[in-house]
Structure 1
Amino acid sequence: MNTLFIKNMVCNRCIMVVQNELDKLGLDVKNIRLGEVILDKALTTEEKKKLNEALQPLGFEIIDHKKSRIIEKIKNVIIELVHYQDNDAKTNLSDLISNKLNHDYNYLSNLFSEVEGTTIEKYFIAQKIEKVKELLVYNELSLSEIAFQLNYSSVAYLSNQFKKVTGLSPSHFRQIRAVKRKSLDEV
């Protein structure tokens, strides 16, 4: 078996797109998940080149550098936590990342900051704010429900963090998005 690490795989649609490219090239996939593809056999240099050429126009690329793979794994853990898991339990981010990657958190944190130019915590907050934006646009949950779903200690804390990152209050963001959207019969 051979494991490939793919940069920028952040959602289920990404998995489908990468799977499609692997199928086109006739590569047998054992398992595929965010940022990672497990193949039955190692790729030849030519197969790897063809795959990378097929993935790059779609915004993906094979990661060969060990540090880059670690960074991508950290991002995928955070994305999965924020966007795809029910956050019923309060999770200590540093413990979660350290356990998932089997590395000391200080090492991971320093590496992430060095390579990305931002901290893991800021990246985590940015992902949470993107999720808040998504939920605000859907307009199905109250701000209180969104705060609860994303494990914010209070609506006020969520609002302050949202405003710090976006420059807008959540309610102002929701109003702006509502004005920009047209109903289907207006399109």
Structure 2
Amino acid sequence: MRPEKKYLVQEVSEQLAKSEYVFLTDFNRLTVAETAELRGQLAAQNAEFHVVKNSILNTAIKEREMPCIEDALDGPTAIVVGGPNPSEVAKVLIKFFKDREKVEVKKGVLGDKTLTKDEVEALSKLPSLDELRATFLSLLNTPATQMVRVLIATPQGILNVLQAKADKDGGAE
């Protein structure tokens, strides 16, 4: 392999190594301005969009022993890597591509699992990590809150009955 290709394979391999996921997209009909816009939206999620030659990507994937995605390496391919939250990155991609109706996600890899286009779209519909944390915390707090309400309800009920009786007795005089 020529030194230039080795360098490119090494660069792509480093990009793949720094991310727990990779999304393969078609970029064939994107303009330069649209690509810059997409890169900006992905940068907000700490993700990156790179146009990669299929042969270079295929070699890097084999070197990293990633799941097989060779069937998605037809036509122009770009990769999206990085960012701590793959579902948020998938949301950006899916929304951008649906708004433009030009390109689409071909495939994805999350950890050791290969994702189809439909699975990437399902990933994009998941709540954000912050929303999941908030939901989880509310689930943990619910039993404690309900227990406190039960413990407080009995004395309050007795006080309400006594107060009502006192009002009734006080009003009779």
TM-score range for the pair, normalised by the shorter chain length: under 0.3
Of Structure 1 and Structure 2, the greater strand share is in 2
Structure 1 length-normalised TM = 0.26
Higher relative contact order (CA 8 A, sep 6+): 2
Structure 2 length-normalised TM = 0.28
Max Rg structure: 2
